[in-house]
Each structure stands twice: as structure tokens, then as C-alpha cells.
Structure 1
Amino acid sequence: MRLSKLFKNAPTTNVTGLSFDSRKVKPGDVYFCLPGLTYDGHDFIDDALDKGATCIVYSRDLKEKRPGAIYVRVQDVNAAMNQCARLFYQKPSDKMRMFGITGTNGKSSVANIIRAIMNLQEPTGYIGTIGIDYGDQHLMPDLTTPDALFLQRTLNDMVTAGMKDCALEVSSHGLAQGRVDGINFDAAVFTNFTYDHLDFHGTMENYFDAKSRLFKDRVKADGVCILNMDDPRFKDLERLSKARVISYGINSEADYRAIDIQMTSTSSHFNLVHQGRLYPVMTNLVARYNIYNLLAAIAALHETGMPLDRILPACEDLPQIKGRLEQIDAGQDFHVIVDFAHTPDGMEQMFQFGRSITGENGDVIAVFGSAGKRDVAKRKVFGELADKYCDLIILTEDDPRDENPREIASQIREGIKTTNNLYIEDRYEAINQAISSAKKDDVVLILGKADEPFIYRETGRSPYIGDNVAARECIEALKK
């Protein structure tokens, strides 16, 4: 592509790529001097030019400019990068129906439900915490919402592969840092808003402001905002949303409402109320919060054109989402459940579900920790919640980074007053202890890491088999 296609009055020099990381620059790239939390891209201009960058996009005064190099000054490098990525990759999101899902909890579940049902009608991609999936491709991203360059390139790859739709998890970090500014969504879904990420946002209002940007700025004029009527921030989002608003809920009158809910440990049944009619729904999803997730997906699909008589039968047997209330069944006579829960609200929902499915004499055994270099205040809260619902708590490592995992565990213990608890640093051994301790009708909850194939320690990202694989291995070993 010609540089003049990306910037007005720029030379017609040919551009072969885009980069904001000087270490990854290739000959012919445009290099964006992106300011960051730790480093400033302006400090690495010489490195980028040495590697063959065609053009430097910058925003602050430079002491000197290298003769023969092309420089383009902009007010906001991040905004310019988003726009250039959109143009360079031929506006890929305009060629697909785009679903954006945000909220504290439930993003992965809603996005994967949408993808699973849409895939029955036409090829659909997914980008989020669990990975990137389209066609026969499965990739692992570093972030829930990838950076703008990676995101636009991936969306273009999806278009090339024949995808007609994409379900994209939109994190508060991604919104605050403008990673989706080059995308206009057909449908934006709000799951819920609870305590999280204050280490990044500082206050709950800043956190909410980041979430709300999806509905204020990124939905097409003829698009739709799907909002949780039962969440306390519904009215705020309804007022801020620029597109048509559709509600879903359980406790309140809503455009899509679930009533007469019946749940077991393996399935759920409810009546969907929509426009005055009742539609019976059967699903293999369990737990009350998953009813919310399913309602959100049903509303998003229906409001973008899929008939209910296609959507509802597909709800009966939805694919298991790895690490999201994943029940590990290897023939044992107790429940083992792996989940990504890592917020106070998510943890409490899992504890409540575990408590609800224990047998008459069953106990709830929980294995979890708390991430290092992240919000410290929630650690004691985790302990308080576990103390309220569990019979045995096994504390362990969970991405400790350069913090001492034992010290993290001691901070969780500040909230534990009466429940038996122990600390086993090695996560695999902690899971093995929980499973070895379980008896008939007990529930073992393994929370925080889910299927993630790594643990962040002081030395960096270390390989890990994932909680779901570890649990299955421990059960098999116990049976032998």
C-alpha cells in the first residue's frame, strides 16, 4: 500500500507493514512511536530506522531527524495507528457482522455461545481470552483484546478465510487503550459490572467509563446494544448508548426474560418471555449466571437477524467452553469443576453453585490463589467468600509474578476465620491434594487459571498443563 493512502500529503512510498515494536520492525514498515506505561516508542526511532522502517509516525518534538527518512507528525499516535491499521488491512470489520462483548464476567461464555450458534448458519470467528478461533485455525493471544495492529490483521485473515461474523471480547483495558477504535460493531453486549481491575483503572467510575465507551462510541447507528436489565448500571448504559437498546434479565421485566428456571448439576430449563410469548428453553449450561449469559447471546443473535426457532434448539447442546465451569468427569463419585473465576463476583458465583450441587453430606473444597502484581484489596475478599461457602480451602500459586506466593496466600487468609485451610505452593500438588481429600458427593472447585497453559512467575512465563488437564490426571491417578 502507498503511504499516501494512509496519510494526506504523504509521499507515494510503498508500505509493506505496520509496527509499534522496534524489535519487530521489518524493511518497508511504518513505525508508530507509541507511548506506553513503561516505555516510550519515541526512544527507539533509531532502532526502527536501522531495521529498515520506511516511515516514522510520532507526536512529540524530536531532537533530530535522520536524512532521507520519512516522518509524519500526528497529535495522537495511537489514534493514527488504529486508523492506519483499519485502512492497511482493507477495513476487515466492515466485511463481517461484528459482535462486541464486554463486562466484568461472562465475556468468554457469551462470545463462544454466539459463535457456536452462528456457526450453524455461517462461518464465524472468535477473539478473546480463550484464544482466536476461525475455520480450522486456533491461536493463543497474549491479551483478551489484542493490540490494534494484531487485531486488524487477524480480522483480515478471518475475512480471507471466509468468515461472515466475528464475536470479539472487548476488555476494559482494550477500550481504555483504544484497541478497538478501528471497529464499528453491529451488536454490543453488556454482561455485568462488578469489582475488578482497579490496579489499572484506579476507581470503579474509571472502570465503568472504559466499559461504557463500547456503547457510546463503537456501535453502528443502525446497530443494537444488548444490556443486562438486572445490573445496577443498566440505566447509566441505556442513557449513554447511541444505538437501539434491548434488555435481558431474570429479576426484572425485560425484552428477553427467563422465568420458571429449573437447574440441575448437568442442565437447565426455563421459559423465555419475549414480546408477550413464552418459549421453552432447554440447555446443557448450568448455574444461574449462565442463564444470563445465554439470554445475552439469544438477544444478540435474534436482534441481528437469526430467528428464535433456529437459536433455541441450538441451546440444548452447546459445546463445553474450556475452563468455564468445566466439569471434569473421569468416573469419580464426586464433582470436580474448573473455572476461570478470578473476581469477587465470579468467585462467589462459583462457591454458590458448588454449594447448590453438593450431596446431603457433601463438602465444598476450593483450590485458588490470587495473581501477583494485581489488585491486592480483593485478596482478603476472596478469603471471606471462601470462608462463607467452603469446608476446606487449599491456597496455592496463581500467576504470582515477582511476589511471594506464600505472602499472597497470607493476605487471602486474613479473610478466613473458621474454615480449615492449608497452603500448597505448587499448583499441581494443590489440585492433587484437593482431589485426594474428596469423598462421595463432595464438590472440588479449582478456580483462577482454567485451561491457561502457563503461569507467570518471577522468571517470566512458565509452561503449565492447565487446571483442567491437571485435574483429570489427578483423578486418573487416584483411581489407579
Structure 2
Amino acid sequence: MRLSKLFKNAPTTNVTGLCFDSRKVKQGNIYFCLPGMTHDGHEYIGQAIERGAICIVHSRELTPEEMPTGAIYIRVNDVMAAMNQCARIYYSSPSDKLLMYGITGTNGKSSIANIIRNIRNLKEPCGYIGTIAIEYGNVRLQPDLTTPDAIFLQEKLSDMVRCGMKACALEVSSHGLAQHRVDAIDFDVAVFTNLTYDHLDYHGTMESYFNAKSILFKDRVKADGVSILNIDDPKFPELKKLSKARVISYGVNTECDYRAINVEILPNQTNFDLIYEGMAYPVKTNLVATYNVYNLLAAIAALHETGMDLETILPACENLPQIDGRLEQINLGQDFHVIVDFAHTPDGMEQMMQFGRKIAGNHQVIAVFGSAGKRDVAKRKVFGQIADQYCDSIILTEDDPRDEDPKEIADQIKEGIKTKPHIFIQDRYEAIRQAVESANKGDVVLLLGKGDEPYIYRENGRAPYKGDNVIVKECIEKYALDHEDDEK
């Protein structure tokens, strides 16, 4: 593409790509000098030109020493805004050619996005971008971020169009919104799950966190689109006022557009009646736990409001594909329950532990979890308080410790544990093994925080990890099933 198509009055120089990381610049690229939290992209102009950048987009005045020869310099007021606009044009405005679902909220984004994708595929091909993966057609990639950077997003959406996708379900994180990663995407549907305590290490306050989430409904959803909002969340009235699109509500406890009543939650199945426009529709699903009722309602509303019939949507809810690491029930024939979940917020932890307590009955709930290093410290004690309320025994372990001492993190969690027995086993594999070996018939083992993530962040960066769901299967086969055979 010619540079003149991206910037007015620019030369017709050929552009081979867009980049904001000077280490990744290739010959013929435009380099965008983004100001960062720790580094300023303006400091790396020389490196970018050495690697082949033919154009430098910058926002501050540069000294002659900062402007090596061999490149075209374009000054703009906002480099991020310019980068978003260039990426959109360079990749031919892919979001205009896709039915775009954006899902935001503290918990439930991955589940809702995957439900939407799986059911939408019954009508037309739908891609997915989020925490779990980037998927479309035969492509499956491991993401670095829940919501990738603006250039990568436009590239992948463009590739989706090329591969025949007609829709995309995109998880939109608060970081992604605050850092303008989705500014060049027009969303047809904006879904809000809930707002609970999380990411205050970045946002500072719940108000700031909410303001970041609200960007999707104020600015990013199309005026002729639709906002799907959880009426049972305290932020519903405020989001309803802020939304520039028409608002559709869903919930359980309050009259709304899509409401679930007569909810029956079983260990392996959930039943409820969907009330829509005065009619009751029976719904049966293999998803379990109360929060999945909300997730399913949000997905049903989003799909129905974009042209799919309830007669097509509801039968598809009965046997939805298991989402790896999201309330993933592991059953290899052992006589106790094992549940793997990504829960890493106080609300997510409580929801999982409530469900574990419900299905355990008079049996024991054994929880294995930790808390991420270099992240919100205040929630660690809260994790301990929640576990103390619902669990019978607690095994604390590592969870992305980064450069913090896992034992010190565990000690902070222990401050909230007052009555229940607990131990610390630093190695996560060994902690899972201990939980499996200690479980008796009817017990519930909860493995929380990592889900299916194939890595752990340690002091020197991302290290390989099998994932809780893989490790627990190994432990069941080696320690639980063999043990059962010995008893027989």
C-alpha cells in the first residue's frame, strides 16, 4: 500500500507493514512512536530505521539528533489514534465486513464469546479472539493478551474475512479499552457481563475500572447496534444511560427482556425457563453453576438480537462444547469430582466455591489455588476469607508468581483463613497431586486460577506449564485410579 493512502500529502512510497515495536520492524514498515508506561517509542527511532523503517510517525518535536536520515517523518497529535486509523485502512476495514460481537465485564467473557461463536457457526462461520485462543476456520493461535494490540487485531480480522468468516466474537478487556486497542473496530453488539473487584493494580479505583469498561458502550458500539446488559448488576442503570445503542436486558432476579426463572442447577446439567416477550421457553444445558445461567442468557440475547431464531439457538444450548479450563469437569472414572477453572477474582472464586459446596453435599471440598504476583495484592486476603467460608481443606500454591516469592503470596492469603486446615506446596504439580491423593469418594477438588493455560509467569518471564486440566488427568490416572484398583 502507498503511504499516500494512509496520510494526506505523503509521498507515494510503498509500505510493507505497520509496527510499534522497534525490535520487530521489517524493511518498508511504518514505525509508530507510542508512548508507553515504562518506555517511550520515540527513544527507539534509530533502531527502527536501522531495521528498515521507511516512515516514522511521532507526536513530539524531535531534535536533529533524533531524526536519522533514510526515513519520512510524520508528526501527529496522537500516535495511537493515527496507528488505529492506519491499521484500519491498511487492512481494508475488516470489522465493517464482519458481524462484530464485543464482550466485556469482569467474569464470563470467554464463556459468552465461545457460546456465541459455537451457536453462530450453525448459521454462518464465526471467528473468536480472546483469552483462550484466536480461532477461525482451521486457524488456532495462542494469544499473548485477552485483547491484542490494534495492528494485530486488524490483521487477524482481515484474515478472518479472507478465510470466509462472517462474524467474530471478541473479548474486550478493560486494558484493551483503556489502551485504545479496539478504537478502529465498529461493534454491532456490545455485551456486558458484570463488574466485580479486579485489575485495581492497573485502574486504581473501581470507578476508573468501570469507566474503562463503559467505553465499549459509549463509543465503540454502533449507534444502530445493540447493547446487551446484565440487569442484575448494580451498574446496569448507569450503562443503560451511557449506551449510544439500543439496550436489551438479561437477568434472573429482575423483570427484563431475557429472563431465566425456575432455575435448577444439577452437578452435570442446568434447566430453566427463558421468559421472552411473555412466552416461556424451556432451556436445558450441559453448562452448570449459576453464573453460567447469566452467560447463556447474554449469549442467547446477543444471537437472537442479531437475527438467529430461538428455535435454532435453544436446542444448541443442550450440548455445548466444553471450554477448556472454564468450569471443566474432569471425569476419568474416579469416584470424586474434579473441576478446573480460570477463576482469579474474588467473585469468580466465590462462584466456583459455592458451586463446589453445593455439589459436595456432606462431602469435602478441597481447593488448590494461589494468587498472581505483581498484581492486585489486596484480593489475596479476600481469597483466603472466601476459601475459609466454603472449603474444608485448602492447598495454597504458585500462580504466576513473577518475581514475588510464592510463599509470601501464600502467607498473605493465609491472613484470611481462620478456621480451615491449609498447607502450602509451592510446586503446582505437587499441590494438584496432593489434592487428588487426599480426595475420598464424593469429595470435590477445585483447581482454580490457571485453567488450561500452558505457561506460568516466573521471574524470568513465561515458563512452560502443562495446564491444570492436563496435570490433574495425569494425577488421577497415576494416583487415584491405581489406588481404587488396589482397594478392589
The verdict on a shared fold, with TM-score over 0.5 as the criterion, is yes
Q: Kindly provide the CA deviation profile for residues 363-408 of structure 1, in whole angstroms up to 9, marking residues without a partner as x.
A: 1000000000000000000000000000000000000000000000
**How big is the shift at 1:69?**
1.9
Which residue does the alignment assign to 2:314?
312
**Partner of 1:311: helix, strand, or coil?**
helix
**How big is the shift at 1:410?**
0.1
Which residue does the alignment assign to 2:111?
109
2 CA distance for matches of 1:304 and 1:91? 21
**Partner of 2:223: helix, strand, or coil?**
strand
**How big is the shift at 1:12?**
1.0
What is the identity, as a one-letter code, of the residue corresponding to 1:461? R
1 CA distance for matches of 2:337 and 2:293? 21
**How big is the shift at 1:359?**
3.8
2 CA distance for matches of 1:157 and 1:75? 30
Which residue does the alignment assign to 1:462?
463
2 CA distance for matches of 1:150 and 1:426? 35
Which residue does the alignment assign to 1:33?
33
Structure 2's unaligned 5+ residue stretches are 483-488
Which residue does the alignment assign to 1:255?
257
Which residue does the alignment assign to 1:339?
341
2 CA distance for matches of 1:11 and 1:135? 38
Which residue does the alignment assign to 1:47?
47
Whether the 8 Å CA contact 2:103–2:109 is kept in 1: the answer is yes
Which residue does the alignment assign to 1:391?
392
Which residue does the alignment assign to 1:276?
278
Q: Quote the sequence identity (%).
A: 72
2 CA distance for matches of 1:376 and 1:221? 39
Which residue does the alignment assign to 1:381?
382
**How big is the shift at 1:259?**
0.3
Which residue does the alignment assign to 1:411?
412
2 CA distance for matches of 1:21 and 1:171? 21
1:371 aligns with 2:372: yes
1:450 aligns with 2:451: yes
Which residue does the alignment assign to 1:62?
62
1 CA distance for matches of 2:292 and 2:47? 49
What is the identity, as a one-letter code, of the residue corresponding to 2:61? D
**How big is the shift at 1:67?**
3.2
1:134 aligns with 2:132: no
What is the identity, as a one-letter code, of the residue corresponding to 2:435? A
**Partner of 2:264: helix, strand, or coil?**
strand
Which residue does the alignment assign to 2:219?
217
1:125 aligns with 2:127: yes
Which residue does the alignment assign to 1:427?
428
Q: Kindly provide the CA deviation profile for residues 162-181 of structure 1, in whole angstroms up to 9, marking residues without a partner as x.
A: 00000000000000000000
Which residue does the alignment assign to 2:8?
8
**How big is the shift at 1:136?**
1.1
Q: Kindly provide the CA deviation profile for residues 175-231 of structure 1, in whole angstroms up to 9, marking residues without a partner as x.
A: 000000000100000000000000000110000000000000001111000000000
What is the identity, as a one-letter code, of the residue corresponding to 2:184? G
1 CA distance for matches of 2:220 and 2:133? 23
Which residue does the alignment assign to 2:486?
none
**How big is the shift at 1:68?**
4.2
**How big is the shift at 1:158?**
0.6
**Partner of 2:385: helix, strand, or coil?**
helix
Could you tell me the TM-score, scaled by structure 1's length? Answer: 0.99
2 CA distance for matches of 1:433 and 1:210? 41
Q: Kindly provide the CA deviation profile for residues 77-126 of structure 1, in whole angstroms up to 9, marking residues without a partner as x.
A: 11110110000000011111000000000000000000000011111100
Which residue does the alignment assign to 1:286?
288
2 CA distance for matches of 1:187 and 1:307? 17
Whether the 8 Å CA contact 2:35–2:42 is kept in 1: the answer is yes
**How big is the shift at 1:66?**
2.6
**Partner of 2:128: helix, strand, or coil?**
strand
**Partner of 1:262: helix, strand, or coil?**
strand
1:174 aligns with 2:201: no
Could you tell me the TM-score, scaled by structure 2's length? Answer: 0.98
1 CA distance for matches of 2:205 and 2:161? 38
1 CA distance for matches of 2:142 and 2:28? 27
Which residue does the alignment assign to 1:245?
247
2 CA distance for matches of 1:202 and 1:61? 31
**Partner of 1:27: helix, strand, or coil?**
coil
- The alignment of Structure 1 onto Structure 2 pairs a total of residues equal to 479
Over aligned residues, Cα RMSD in angstroms?
0.6
2 CA distance for matches of 1:3 and 1:127? 29
**Partner of 2:184: helix, strand, or coil?**
coil
**How big is the shift at 1:9?**
1.1
2 CA distance for matches of 1:321 and 1:422? 30
Which residue does the alignment assign to 2:24?
24
Q: Kindly provide the CA deviation profile for residues 7-44 of structure 1, in whole angstroms up to 9, marking residues without a partner as x.
A: 11111111010000001100110000011111110000
2 CA distance for matches of 1:202 and 1:358? 37
